[in-house]
Structure 1
Amino acid sequence: MTDTTNELVMTRVFDAPRELVWRAFTDPDQFAAWFGPVGWSVPRETVDFDVRVGGHQRFTMVNDDDPTKTSPADGTFAEIVENELLVGYEEVKGVPGLEDGTRMTLRLEFHDEPGGKTRLELRQGPFPADWRSGAEQGWGSSFTKLDALLAR
């Protein structure tokens, strides 16, 4: 059996106010403009958000070089405090290394930092130990794209 006790924990400071960083995660147009690691994109027409407790976050990442490679997501919002906290989960099916029905949780905390910046604290998991590095690289790459969006 695969060890799924691992959790990714990351902190990133963005040079933008908390409300703008929050909007980048909750507004479908903005989300589609930055989400996904370099080499992947999220077509706007695949994004469907209902940002409320019990609501959903659905989208599909598409590989830029081979559009037949896709990664759909269908999450449910469990906790929301506007401009402060987003918690959601997805029950995975058909993912190698994870038992069907495993609940993968994503927790995002948004904190004010001096100078109008925002500190984002991210926790995601559980997932197989060998996924952690890839997840961390994927988020880091996505956050580089988010930095560019927030600078506009």
Structure 2
Amino acid sequence: MTMTKETSSDLVIERIINAPRELVWKAWTEPEHIMRWRGPKDFTTPVFRVDLRVGGESYSCMRSPDSKDYCGKGIYLEIVPFERLIMTDSFADKSGNIVPASYYGMSGDFPLEMRITLLLKEHDGQTKLTLRHSGIPAGEEREGARQGWNESLDKLDWYLEKEKSTMSA
């Protein structure tokens, strides 16, 4: 199923990643890899915890260039290794409690819970990645999220290019 159309609450990004699907999967599911690429340009991710099982949680904190932390929490809803990952996505405080987007100075139009769907497909030795982030308000907030995800995926491309020889599938 190709998911390329955006609805009023969905952000969809498709990319061809120059790495085998198994490596892309590892980069999305193992904290030691996620922490190296997740977040917009000039952001770092000093904290990322994963309990990769249906019902398990992920928790992360991204740090902006001015040292402000933005934390998030999710629950894994569906896991099909190397193919699909579906999880909730919420803003959180440093203790892992779900908070509204306004906690971080964003619009109150964000729902408390959004959803991220990641699809990975083989594509001539590379990986076609489709990311659907549902629930982001249209307008400036969605465009900011699109920019952030694209910058993060640029970092993923760079990281995997550098790490392909050392990461084993």
TM-score (norm: length of structure 2):
0.80
Letter of the aligned partner of 1:31 in structure 2?
Answer: I
Q: Larger relative contact order (C-alpha < 8 A, sep ≥ 6)?
A: 1
* Cα displacement string for residues 73-101 of structure 1 (whole angstroms, at most 9, x for unaligned residues): 11110000000000000345321334686
For 2:136, which of 127, 131, 138 is the aligned residue?
127
Residue 23 (1) aligns with residue 26 (2): yes
Moved over 6 A (4+): none
Percent of paired sites with the same residue = 36
Structure 2 unaligned runs (5+)? 1-6, 92-98, 163-169
Letter of the aligned partner of 1:145 in structure 2?
Answer: K
Letter of the aligned partner of 1:49 in structure 2?
Answer: V
Aligned 8 A contact 2:87 2:115 in 1? yes
Distance 1:119 1:100, change over 3 A: closer
Residue 33 (1) aligns with residue 44 (2): no
Instruction: Tell me the residue number matched to 2:112.
Output: 102
Once residues 115 and 147 of structure 2 are traced to their aligned partners in structure 1, the CA distance between those partners, rounded to angstroms, is 18
Task: Please state how far the C-alpha of 1:39 moved relative to its aligned partner.
Answer: 1.6
Query: What is the number of residues matched between the two proteins?
Result: 144
Instruction: Tell me the residue number matched to 2:147.
Output: 137
Letter of the aligned partner of 2:144 in structure 1?
Answer: G
Aligned 8 A contact 1:78 1:89 in 2? yes
Task: Please state how far the C-alpha of 1:41 moved relative to its aligned partner.
Answer: 0.6
Letter of the aligned partner of 2:100 in structure 1?
Answer: G
Aligned 8 A contact 1:75 1:90 in 2? yes
Tell me the secondary structure at the aligned position of residue 100 of structure 2. coil
Distance 1:110 1:104, change over 3 A: same
Residue 70 (1) aligns with residue 69 (2): yes
* Cα displacement string for residues 9-29 of structure 1 (whole angstroms, at most 9, x for unaligned residues): 110000000000010000101
Tell me the secondary structure at the aligned position of residue 33 of structure 1. helix
Residue 89 (1) aligns with residue 92 (2): no
TM-score (norm: length of structure 1):
0.88
Distance 1:50 1:81, change over 3 A: same
Once residues 141 and 90 of structure 1 are traced to their aligned partners in structure 2, the CA distance between those partners, rounded to angstroms, is 19
Letter of the aligned partner of 2:122 in structure 1?
Answer: D
- Give the alignment's Cα RMSD to 1 decimal: 1.7
For 1:42, which of 29, 42, 45 is the aligned residue?
45
Once residues 99 and 134 of structure 1 are traced to their aligned partners in structure 2, the CA distance between those partners, rounded to angstroms, is 14
Instruction: Tell me the residue number matched to 2:12.
Output: 9
Once residues 86 and 29 of structure 1 are traced to their aligned partners in structure 2, the CA distance between those partners, rounded to angstroms, is 18
